[in-house]
Structure formats: C-alpha cells, structure tokens
C-alpha cells in the first residue's frame, strides 16, 4: 500500500485509509473465498449471457425494429443490463442481515468505521469479487457479436460516470432495505419484493423502451431507472433528462435522498437493536 | 457396549494463502489433508462412566461425532451396542442420547414442552412412560418451571437441563455429553452431575463425557481416556493417572515463628521453602505417610497452620498437555 | 410406511407451531412471493405487448406456458421449498440433529418449516392459468385435464429435485448459494419461453442437460397441440411427467449418498 510512505502528520488519514482498505478486502475475500461459488457464478453469468443474446435474437427474428429499437441494440442492451444488474443487485444485498443474525453486529458497532461504513465498504469488495463474472459476460457478449460499442468517447465517458453513480444509489438502497433484518428474522419476503421491483423498474430485465406508455413515466421517475436504464441510454447516445448533466444531477439528488434515508433507518435500527443469540 | 477400533478421520481443508491478492490466489491453492483423529481404539463396558479428555483441537469432538454417527470415519470401525452407527442409523439413534453444550438439539423457537413431546412421538415412547420419566427427571433437574418457555428464551443452565431431559427421555443405553457444563453456574453444574450419576447408577446407562471442567471428571468418572494430536495417550483409572503424573503429595506448614522454620523437616521428604514463609514437605505416599510426616515436623516446633495437598487433576492434565509439546 | 406417516404427523405439528411463532412474517412473505412472480408476469407481458408472440407461438399460447411453469413452481415452492434450505442446514450444523434422530433424513429436511407463505405462488399461478387457458383454444378432454395436473406436479418435483441436488452438493462444497440463484434465474426467466427460441442445440440442452423443458415447454406444447415445436416425436411428450418423478427420486438417493460426506462444523 502506497499510503504507508506518508509523513507522520498524515497518520490519522493513513489509519482511516488502512481500515477502509481492510473492509474492502474483507468483502472481496468473502466473495472469492468459496472457489466453487466463483466458478459457478461465472458459469451462471456466462449461461445467462448466451441465453439472453439468443432470446433477444429470436424475439426479433424477421423484424428490424420494434418500438424504434433495433435488434442489435436490444441484444447489446441485454448483455450490458445483465452486467449492471449483476453489480447493482447482487445475490446477497449486503453483509448486514447475516451479521445481525449471527449477532456479530454487536462487535461491528464498536469498531471505528461504523456499521453503515463497513457494510458499504464490504459491498465495494463484493463488487470487486463480482468482476470475474462481469468480464465473462462482456467477453461472451462480444464474441457472440452482441455488443455494440458507444459511438463517441463522450458517450462512453457519460456511461462510466452515470453507471458508477447508479451503482452507488443501488448499494445505498440495498443497504437500507437489508436493515429490515434489525426488525424481522425472516428477511426473504421484503427482499423478494425489493428485488422484484428493483430489477423490473431498473430496466435490467426488459429495457424501459418496451414498457407500455402508461407505465414508463412512473418507472422513469423512480431511482431504479437511474441505475441501469439511464446509463445505458447514454451508451447508445440517447439523451435522457437532457444528457449526461441531467442524469448526473438526478443521480446526485437521489444519492442525497438515499443517504438521508439510510442514515435515518440505521439510526432507528441501531436504537432498537436486538442482538440474536446473546 | 462401545467398541472403537483404529478410528481415523481425515479432513481436506483449503490451503492457506497470505499476502497480496490472497483471496484471488486462493482459488487455485492446493488443499491440505488434516488428520484429526489418528488411529483411536478403546472399549467401554456397559455402565461405565468415561471421561474423554484432550486439549482444544486434540480430536475429541471429531471422535464423539463419529461415535454418535454424525460423521463417518475415513477408516476404522465403531460398534455401539453391536450397531455400526452409520450403517444402521435409526437403530443406533434409539440407543444413544446426545447433549452438546454448544448446540441445543431441541426446537429453538418452541416451548420446551413441545420439543419433549415431539421427541416422545419420534422415539415412540408410551405416554405413560413419558409422564413417569418427566416427573422423575424433574425431581433432580427441576424443569417444570420452564416447560412452557421457548428454548431461545431459556438461560444456558435451563437449556442444558432441557437438552438432558430430551436426550434421556427414551432411556438410551449410552449417553454422550460434549462439554455439558461449559458456562454453567455452580448450582446448575451440580444438578447436572447428580442427574448423570443417578441415571448411571439406577439404569446402568453408559456415559461418555468430554469436558474441560476437571470437577466433572472427579465427581463422575472412574476411567479416563485422554487423546492428543488424534491419538490416545492415556486410557485407564483416574487414581492411576494421577499417580503416574503426580506421584508426590505435599504437606504445607506455616510455622508459628519464622525462626522456627529451619527446624521443620521430616524423613523421606523433600523440603521446599515458600516465599510466603511456608514450608512444603513433599513425600511419596508409598514410602512414608502424611501422619508420619506431620508428626515429625510438629514435634520440632510450633505450627500455626497445616494443609495436606492432594494432586489436582488439573495439574495432571496440564502436565500431560505440556509433555505433548503444547 | 405407517411409521413414516406417524413421523410426518409429528414433524408437521412442530413445523406448524414454529410457523405460528413467525406469524408477523407471514403476510409480508406472501406479498414477497406475489411481487417476485408479478415481476416475471410483467416481464412476459411487456415482451408480448411489444412483440405480439415469440418464436411462432401466439401471446395466449406463451401465457399458457407461463401459467404451467408458474403452477409447477408453486408446487415446488409449496411442498418442497425446504430443499433450498439444505446448504444452511449443512453449514449451521443443524444436520447433526437430523442424523441423531431415528427419522428419515429427507423427511426431517422437508418438514423443517411449514410452507404457508408460499401461498402467494399458488395464487399467482392459479390466476395466470385461469386467465390463459380459456383464451388458448384447447380442445379439452378429461384425460387431458388429468394429464395437465400430473405434468404440473411432476414439473414441481423436477425443480425440487434440482434444488435438492444443488443443496446436496454443499455436503462437499463450501458454498452453493450462487447455484440456487442460477436455478431460480434460469427457471424463472428462461423457463417462460417456448424453448425452440434457443435453437436446436438449446432445446436439446434444456431437455437433456438442464431439464427446463419439462416444467413448461413440453406440457404446454402437448396441451396446445404444438408438438411441431418439439425436437422429438410428439407422442413421447405424453410420457414427460415420468421424468420429473424420476429426477426427484434420483435426487433423494443422491442426497442420501452425499450426506455421507457430511463434515459437521465446529468442534
């Protein structure tokens, strides 16, 4: 770590960076430690990529464009949407429910980084752990000829920026939702609701292009569309919300809202914390 | 009752990797073979109470898991009442009761009563017997007060008592206890020991107990099997074990006056001066006796206080573990 | 068999009482199941709304397929939901307890909890079938109706069998969580398509390797008279329910065999 070479005046910063780095590594290690799991998740992503490309090609067979969207674009979208969805909505929403169930959250509260901070850093780690899957999907998508590149550099740049911000919104919301673990032991129900709404409304399953006209405005008003659909529109050089600036502005707004909500919920949660098994 | 022959258990664990990108490199690190139990053999007769001892990681729990049929050995055989646990699991299940100190075998969310009734039904215990046994167990363990409390809300002591009742409800021939008293208060420990001793005496229940509490062993067991690094290092009587490792006894004397200390001595005993002014006379009970040592020491000078110290099992165990290189 | 029934009754009582302890979670779980299935329903609806039909099948025909797959899934969820718990049971050491009791291991896993919250799946499946079947121009005979029931039950057993096999791998592998996700995603997302969309190789793959065909595509094709979409002789399709039952039986045997490798956690 390069932070080690700092002068002693930066000691506090160094410690904080060190701790944060440790949390990120913990998250990545948790994801990577089970080698079978990594292999399976790569296979799973690979299989899904192939299937998605095939399905969309088949659905389009004989048609050039539907709802103003060409087949090539729909296929590209499907692969990229899979990748973004894979990152934004991981199988494990956050490490929090597990730690509440096992009672280790009690020690987390004492640790200096804070429960929310730790969970977020571990999510970053988990995203790093998901990168092999992402690489697999992109590679396969490209091999199958199902990946069109952004037309301009600025489109690519806009996509990267907004995708990152979208991931941050998703991770904050994931964390907020996973805090229901503080109130109920069986988290499956609420998680399913959230997962269903998020994956549908974000456009990870079906691009919002194909939504009926009465549904689309509602979906675009939700923060989920900013996680997958809006970044991908920029990739394809569409101009949602007046371009990159508009999307980023909306994302920052939602980030603030999500952060406030997360802070509120975690404040309530930690006040009523029930440690299991103690 | 329990025949164990050349029992071996090997585990495969992921090789450990340190340093940069350890998590990633672990993906193709070779796995390592660990031998947790390495050729353990012993035979336990009906009605024996045996303490199965060993340091943490010595292979105790793995052995117990093989005896109870939870884990299959890599090689070797186990017969409990003539049944090989993993070949005839159900017949074996009726023969044994198991209590794990760390993990309840009961239904976590439900009242103790429901758990006990379920065990009654699963083991096909007649309701008449069930009532009689519950009443009998209640006398020693006092479980009636919390029969309607969910297991998750019980204190550790209550939970252990509940688990013990659950394990003995169908009158198994063998009772396995894996660290049953860990974390219990003195009263709960005593109730548990009384109950185990009573079951052993009245019904000839064979008991195998692992524990780190030497009082459990001293009060319950006549025989010790000690294991280290997966092999048996001692199998025999408790007194013989003590004699082998701590053959001496100590008489500790506090002299009335410091100046008299020099006069305190006895034949056939080693004289050790304590830093607090006490004199310890260490002797071999085969050569001389405590009364002889005391009489000789007391004849020379005034004595304020006097203690005879028996070898402590804990010291014995510490010695053995230390010998084994821990 | 009588003994098994007695054990079943005993374990059913405990499962039911446990479920009652979690009453608060009950409603939200139903809503959860509803929402999850509704999202798949929306997915299919949106697709059909935009494209009309898929791979030569009309909208109503695809809806029948979807309904049959949902019904199979709800059979799996309602009766065999606990199969997905196996890795948890193994990793927490709960399996110790199963091995110590004189009761079938499979029965103990099956009855681990009561499955009332899966009611949401049943409701959705019934609604979709109720909507789709009358619109799909099927010439009904009593035999066909009975066959549909058998096919749906067998489809549920097939999915349960796959989940059980997946769970049984956790006796040897440390973590199989992502495979649960794989099975749910593949079944939930791609099981809803007439499988000829994946081409000849894909259709064979989903019949012989990952037997997705048996939970929707084959039953729907038989019922709708679309045997032309299948890659094998149409009459074989009538025997397809046997595959689900067979897979489930094999899965139980596999589970029993793998349980020998159980290495109880902790010391």
Q: What is the DSSP string of B78-122?
A: EEETTB-TTTSHHHHHHHEEEEESSS--S-TTSBHHHHHHHHHHH
Is the reported ipTM for this assembly greater than 0.90? no
Dist. CA B194–CA B189, nearest whole Å: 9
Give me the domain span that covers residue B154: 2-243
pTM (2 d.p.): 0.79
Q: Is C267 on the interface with B (CB under 8 A)?
A: yes
Q: Do B239 and B107 share a structural domain?
A: yes
Instruction: With respect to residue A210, please indicate whether it lies within any of the assigned structural domains.
Output: yes
- Is B325 a domain residue? no
Q: What is the structure's pLDDT at A33? A: 52
- Judge whether B21 is closer than 8 Å to chain A, CB to CB: no
Q: Which residues of C215-237 are buried (b: 16+ CB within 10 A; e: fewer)?
A: bbbbbbbbbbebbebbeeeeeeb
Element (H, E) at B176: strand B174-178
Quick one: pLDDT at residue A127? Answer: 85
Counted residue by residue, chain B has a size of 326
Classify residue B280: in a domain, yes or no: yes
Q: Is A8 within a domain?
A: no
Choice among A161-175, A203-217, B311-325 with the minimum mean pLDDT:
B311-325
Residue finishing a domain among B200, B224, B243: B243
For residue A184, the distance in angstroms to the closest alpha carbon of chain B comes to: 14
Residues of the domain holding A160: 20-271
Residues B304 and B174 in one domain: no
**Long-range CB contacts (< 8 A, 24+ apart) of C196-203?**
C196/C55, C196/C56, C196/C229, C196/C231, C197/A54, C197/A55, C197/A58, C197/A59, C197/C54, C197/C55, C198/A51, C198/A54, C198/A55, C198/A58, C199/A54, C199/A58, C200/C231, C202/A51, C202/A54, C203/C230, C203/C231
Chain C residues lying within 8 Å of A193, measured CB to CB: 28, 31-32, 35-36
Q: Return the H-helix or E-strand segment holding C159.
A: helix C142-168
Whether the Cβ atoms of residue B205 and residue B173 lie closer than 8 Å to each other: yes
Distance CA B104, CA B155 (A): 12
CA neighbor of A68 nearest in space, from A202, A213, A204:
A213
8 Å CB contact between A271 and A265 = no
- Sheet of B75-80, strand order: B31-44, B2-14, B75-80
In a domain, A10, yes or no: no
- Report the DSSP pairing between strands B49-53 and B206-210: parallel
- Per-residue model confidence (pLDDT) at position B34: 82
Cβ of A35 and B27 within 8 Å?
yes
Interchain contact, A189 vs C42, CB within 8 Å: no
Residue length of chain A = 278
Closest residue in A to C47 (Cα–Cα): A210
Give the percent of chain B with pLDDT over 90: 38
Q: Would you say B7 and B76 are in contact if contact means Cβ atoms under 8 Å apart?
A: yes
| Average pLDDT, integer, range B98-115 | 89
CB-CB contact of B78 with B3 (8 Å): yes
Span A27-86, pLDDT tens digits = 666 555 556 667 777 888 888 898 888 888 888 877 888 888 888 889 999 999 999 988
Q: Are residues B225 and B295 in the same domain?
A: no
Same domain as B290, residue B156: no
User: Distance between CA C30 and CA C16 in Å, rounded?
Assistant: 16
Residue B255 lies in a domain: yes
Any A CB within 8 A of B24 CB:
yes
Distance CA(A31)–CA(C39), nearest Å, equals: 27
- pLDDT single digits (tens) C122-163: 888 898 899 889 988 888 899 999 999 999 999 999 999 998
Let me know if residue A227 belongs to a domain. Answer: yes
Q: Which pLDDT band holds residue A225 (cuts at 50, 70, 90)?
A: very high
Q: Is residue B6 part of a domain?
A: yes
Does B94 lie in the same domain as B57? yes
Q: Is residue B324 part of a domain?
A: no
Secondary element (H or E) of residue C167: helix C142-168
Which of chain B's residues have a Cβ under 8 Å away from the Cβ of A33?
A: 23, 26
Measured between CB atoms, which of B14, B22, B27 is closest to A38?
B27
A15: in domain: no
Q: Is residue B316 part of a domain?
A: no
Q: Which of C192, C187, C185 shows the shortest CA–CA distance to C44?
A: C192
Distances, alpha carbon A215 to alpha carbons B60, B293, C121, in Å = 64, 99, 24
Last residue of a domain, one of B214, B243, B272: B243
For chain B, how many structural domains are there in total? 2
Mark which residues 90-129 of C lie under 8 Å from A by CB.
117
| CA angle (B149, B100, C95) in 5-degree steps | 90
CATH for B149: 3.40.50.300
Residue B322 lies in a domain: no
- Strand order of the β-sheet with B279-283 is B269-273, B279-283, B249-255, B303-309
Q: What is the pLDDT averaged over residues C76-95?
A: 86
Of the segments A80-89, C22-31, C45-54, which one has the largest average pLDDT value? A80-89
What is the pLDDT, as a whole number, of residue C122?
A: 84
Three-class secondary structure assignment of C53-85: CECCECHHHHHHHHHHHHHHHHHHHHHHHHHHH
Looking at the fold, whether B278 and B141 belong to one and the same domain comes out as no
Residue B77 shares a structural domain with residue B124: yes
Instruction: Name every chain C residue with its beta carbon within 8 A of the beta carbon of B102.
Output: 266
Residues B31 and B161 in one domain: yes
Cβ contact B70–C96 (<8 Å): yes
Q: Is residue B284 part of a domain?
A: yes
Residue of B14, B20, B22, B27 to mutate for A, most A C-beta atoms under 10 A: B27
For residue A44, the model assigns a pLDDT of 81
What does the block give as tokens for C95?
């399996």
Nearest CB to C50: which of A41, A54, A67?
A67
Using the predicted structure, report yes or no on whether residue A277 has a pLDDT greater than 50.
Answer: no
Cα distances from A68 to residues A64, A90, B280, in angstroms, run: 9, 31, 100
Q: Does B211 touch chain C (CB under 8 A)?
A: no
Nearest to C243 by CA among C184, C155, C176: C155
Query: What's the structural domain count of chain A?
Result: 1
Using the structure block, give the residue that is written with the tokens 């199988």: A91
Nearest C-alpha in C relative to B11: C263
Q: Are residues B89 and B15 in the same domain?
A: yes
Q: Which two tokens stand for residue B51?
A: 């303490």
pLDDT digits (tens, 9 = 90+) for B287-324: 888 888 888 887 777 778 888 887 777 777 777 777 76
Q: Looking at the complex, report in whole angstroms how far the Cα of residue B209 sits from the nearest Cα belonging to chain C.
A: 15
Query: Touching C: which chains, 3+ CB pairs < 8 A?
Result: A, B
Query: C166 or C183: which carries more pLDDT confidence?
Result: C166
Indicate the range of A194-203, C16-25, C204-213 predicted with least confidence.
Answer: C16-25
Domain ranges of chain C: 2-261
Band (pLDDT 50/70/90 cuts) for residue A8 is: very low
**What pLDDT sits at residue A86?**
85
C54 vs A59, A188, A190: nearest CB: A59
- In this prediction, residue B51 has a pLDDT band, given cuts at 50, 70 and 90, of very high
**Percentage of chain A lying above the pLDDT 70 cut:** 80
Q: How many CB pairs under 8 A join A and C?
A: 117
- Do residues B133 and B110 both lie within one domain? yes
Distances (CA, A) of C207 to A50, A172, B55, B245, C257: 17, 41, 54, 70, 25
* pLDDT per residue as tens digits for the range B164-193: 999 999 999 999 999 888 888 888 889 899
pLDDT at residue A273, rounded to an integer = 58
B19 pLDDT more than 60 = no
CA nearest to A276 within chain B:
B152
- Are residues B68 and B184 part of one domain? yes
**Which of the other chains make 3 or more beta carbon contacts under 8 angstroms with chain B?**
A, C
DSSP β-bridge partners for residue A103 = none
Could you say which residues from 124 to 143 on chain B have a Cβ atom under 8 Å away from some Cβ of chain C?
124
Q: Distance of alpha carbon C144 from its chain centroid, rounded?
A: 21
Q: Which residues of A touch B (CB under 8 A)?
A: 25, 28-29, 31-33, 35, 38, 129
With respect to residue A214, please indicate whether it lies within any of the assigned structural domains: yes
Closest CA to B220 of B240, B199, B236: B199
- Closest Cα to residue B188, out of B180, B197, B200? B180
User: What mean pLDDT comes out for the span B75-83?
Assistant: 92
């Amino acid at each position: 770590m390069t932070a080690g070479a700092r002068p002693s005046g930066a000691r506090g910063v160094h410690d904080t960076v060190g701790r944060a780095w440790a949390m990120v590594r913990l998250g990545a290690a948790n994801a990577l430690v089970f080698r079978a799991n990594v292999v399976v998740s790569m296979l799973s992503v690979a299989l899904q990529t192939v299937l998605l490309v095939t399905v969309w090609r088949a659905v389009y067979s004989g048609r050039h464009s539907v709802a103003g969207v060409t087949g090539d674009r729909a296929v590209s979208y499907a692969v990229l949407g899979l990748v973004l969805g894979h990152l934004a909505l991981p199988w494990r929403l956050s490490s929090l429910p597990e730690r509440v169930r096992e009672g280790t959250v009690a020690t987390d509260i004492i640790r200096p980084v804070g429960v929310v901070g730790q969970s977020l850093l571990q999510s970053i780690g988990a995203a790093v752990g998901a990168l092999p899957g992402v690489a697999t999907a992109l590679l396969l998508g490209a091999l199958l000829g199902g990946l069109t590149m952004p037309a301009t550099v600025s489109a690519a740049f806009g996509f990267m920026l907004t995708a990152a911000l979208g991931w941050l919104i998703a991770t904050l919301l994931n964390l907020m939702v996973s805090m229901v673990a503080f109130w109920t032991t069986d988290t499956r129900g609420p998680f399913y609701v959230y997962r269903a709404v998020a994956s549908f409304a974000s456009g990870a399953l079906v691009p919002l292009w194909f939504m009926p006209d009465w549904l689309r405005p509602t979906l675009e008003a939700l923060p989920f569309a900013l996680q997958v659909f809006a970044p991908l529109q920029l990739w394809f050089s569409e101009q949602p919300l007046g371009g990159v600036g508009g999307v980023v502005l909306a994302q920052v707004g939602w980030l603030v809202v999500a952060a406030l909500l997360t802070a509120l919920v975690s404040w309530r949660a930690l006040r009523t914390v029930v440690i299991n098994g103690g | 009752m329990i025949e164990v022959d050349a029992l071996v258990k090997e585990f495969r664990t992921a090789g450990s990797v340190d340093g940069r990108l350890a998590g990633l490199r672990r993906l193709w690190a070779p796995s390592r073979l660990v031998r947790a139990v390495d050729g353990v053999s012993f035979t336990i007769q009906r009605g024996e109470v045996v303490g199965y001892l060993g340091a943490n990681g010595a292979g105790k729990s793995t052995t117990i898991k093989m005896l109870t049929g939870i884990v299959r050995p890599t090689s070797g055989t186990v017969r409990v009442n003539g049944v090989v646990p993993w070949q005839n699991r159900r017949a074996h299940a009726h023969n044994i009761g198991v209590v794990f100190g760390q993990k309840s075998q009961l239904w976590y969310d439900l009242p103790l009563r429901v758990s006990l009734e379920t065990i009654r039904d699963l083991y096909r215990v007649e309701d008449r017997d069930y009532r009689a046994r519950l009443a009998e167990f209640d006398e020693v363990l006092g479980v009636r007060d919390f029969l309607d409390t969910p297991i998750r809300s019980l204190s550790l002591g209550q939970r252990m008592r509940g688990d013990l009742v659950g394990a003995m409800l169908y009158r198994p021939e063998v009772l396995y206890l894996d660290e049953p008293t860990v974390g219990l208060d003195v009263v709960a420990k005593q109730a548990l020991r009384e109950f185990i001793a009573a079951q052993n005496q009245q019904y000839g229940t064979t008991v195998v107990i692992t524990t780190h509490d030497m009082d459990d062993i001293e009060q319950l067991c006549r025989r010790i099997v000690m294991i280290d690094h997966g092999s048996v290092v001692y199998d025999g009587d408790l007194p013989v074990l003590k004699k082998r490792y701590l053959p001496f006894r100590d008489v500790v004397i506090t002299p009335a006056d410091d100046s008299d200390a020099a006069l305190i001595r006895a034949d056939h005993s080693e004289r050790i001066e304590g830093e607090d002014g006490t004199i310890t006379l260490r002797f071999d009970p085969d050569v001389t006796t405590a009364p002889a040592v005391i009489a000789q020491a007391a004849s020379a000078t005034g004595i304020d206080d006097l203690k005879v110290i028996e070898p402590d099992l804990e010291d014995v165990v510490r010695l053995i573990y230390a010998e084994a290189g821990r | 068999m009588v003994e098994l029934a007695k054990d079943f009754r005993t374990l059913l009582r405990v499962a039911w009482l446990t479920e009652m302890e979690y009453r608060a979670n009950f409603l939200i779980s139903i809503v959860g199941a509803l929402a999850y299935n509704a999202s798949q329903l929306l997915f299919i609806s949106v697709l059909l709304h935009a494209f009309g039909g898929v791979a030569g099948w009309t909208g109503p025909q695809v809806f029948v397929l979807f309904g049959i797959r949902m019904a199979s899934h709800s059979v799996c969820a309602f009766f065999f939901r606990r199969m997905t718990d196996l890795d948890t049971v193994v990793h927490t050491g709960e399996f110790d307890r199963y091995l110590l009791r004189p009761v079938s291991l499979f029965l103990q896993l099956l009855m681990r909890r009561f499955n009332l919250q899966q009611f949401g799946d049943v409701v959705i499946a019934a609604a979709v079938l109720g909507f789709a079947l009358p619109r799909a121009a099927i010439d009904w005979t009593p035999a066909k109706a009975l066959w549909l029931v058998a096919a749906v039950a067998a489809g549920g057993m097939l999915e349960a069998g796959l989940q059980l096999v997946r769970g049984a791998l956790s006796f040897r592998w440390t973590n199989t969580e992502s495979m649960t996700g794989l099975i749910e995603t593949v079944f939930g997302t791609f099981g809803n398509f007439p499988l000829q969309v994946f081409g000849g190789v894909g259709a064979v793959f989903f019949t012989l390797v990952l037997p997705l065909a048996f939970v929707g595509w084959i039953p729907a094709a038989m019922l709708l008279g679309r045997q032309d979409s299948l890659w094998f002789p149409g009459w074989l399709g009538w025997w397809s329910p046997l595959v689900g039952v067979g897979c489930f039986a094999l899965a139980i045997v596999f589970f029993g065999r793998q349980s020998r490798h159980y290495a109880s956690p902790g010391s």
